[in-house]
Structures are given as structure tokens and as C-alpha cells.
Amino acid sequence: MAVKQQQETTEEAAVEPKKKKRRGLLIFIIVLLVLILLGAGFTGYAFFTKSFFFAPDDGQEEKAEAIEETMYPLESFVINLGDNGIRKYLKVTLAIGCAEKKDTKKLTEKEIQIRDTIITTLREQSIETLSSVNKEDIIKGEIEKSINALFEPDLAINVYFTEYIIQ
């Protein structure tokens, strides 16, 4: 009988580690499933609210702001380009893009000075500079600088050519 009890105790001892292993495996699987569900929930929340790693890039926001510019169109300019005795004419129509609507009021007040500044800036350029496609940004930058020189706090403006003809 003592041998029987000893065998039963040994069998119970062998069954007990198997139960512990199964229980440990079951707990590990449950914890793993909970973590997967939490990760999926977080990703879904971030996707639908456009937050965290689904947030739009700053560059996209700047492009959207650039579209919201208020345009201030100017009448056409016809400028005599007297470079090296060659008679050439430049016809330019441009618009000034303002970041804020209140800046268009300031531009309206100084339109004559702006037109004079643009004519002076364009006449200072050589025909080679004006006819080069690659130097368009340089010309726009100089026009922006010359316009901003008329205003005490600089305005946030962009210059856009709508017509540009050299003859």
C-alpha cells in the first residue's frame, strides 16, 4: 500500500508540471492576443483620426496654404529694353500673391510706386537674363525684394508672370 501511495504521488507530481506548462502557454497566448488587439485598435484610431504616423506632412500643409493666396493682378507693362543699342521690347503681365487679404489694401495704396519699381527692376536686367528660361526665379526674387523695399514690415508676397513676351 505504501508503494501504491508512492506511485500515486509520483504520477500526480508528473501531471502537475504538465498542467503548469499548459497554463503558462495559455496565459502567454492570451497576453499575446490582447497586445495584438491593442495594437490594431491604436492603428485604426490613428488612421481614422489622421493622427500620429498617419498625420499629413508639413510640406502638404504649406502647399495648401500657398493655394489660399489672395491675388493682386497688375495691368500689363510694355518696357523698352535698350541693351547695347538693340531695340527690344518686353511685355509683361504679372500678379502679386499675398498671404493675407489685408496686404492687398496696402498694395492698392502704393500701386503707382509698385509699377515704377517693377519697371525699374526689369529695365536693369540684360536681354540675356530676361530671355533665359532658367533665370525666371531670379527675376521674380528681385521684383519681390524691390516691392518689399516700399513697405516697412516686409509683406509675404509671391510674383507670378501671367504674360511674358520679348520682341
User: Which three-class secondary structure state does DSSP give residue 127?
Assistant: helix
pLDDT digits (tens, 9 = 90+) for 48-99: 888 877 777 665 555 555 457 889 999 999 998 876 777 888 999 999 999 8
Residues 75 and 153 in one domain: yes
- 99 and 140 in a single domain? The answer is yes
Q: Domain check: are 93 and 142 in the same one?
A: yes
Same domain for 106 and 142, yes or no, is yes
Is position 35 within any domain? yes
| Residue 61: inside a domain | no
What domain count does the chain have? 2
The range of the structural domain enclosing residue 28 comes to: 2-55
Asked if residue 154 and residue 80 are part of one domain, the reply reads yes
Residues 6+ apart with CB under 8 A from 18: none
Give the residues across from 82 on adjacent strands. Answer: 87
Q: What is the pTM of this model?
A: 0.58
**Percent above pLDDT 90 for the chain:** 38
The last residue of a domain, from among 17, 32, 55:
55
43 and 97 housed in the same domain: no
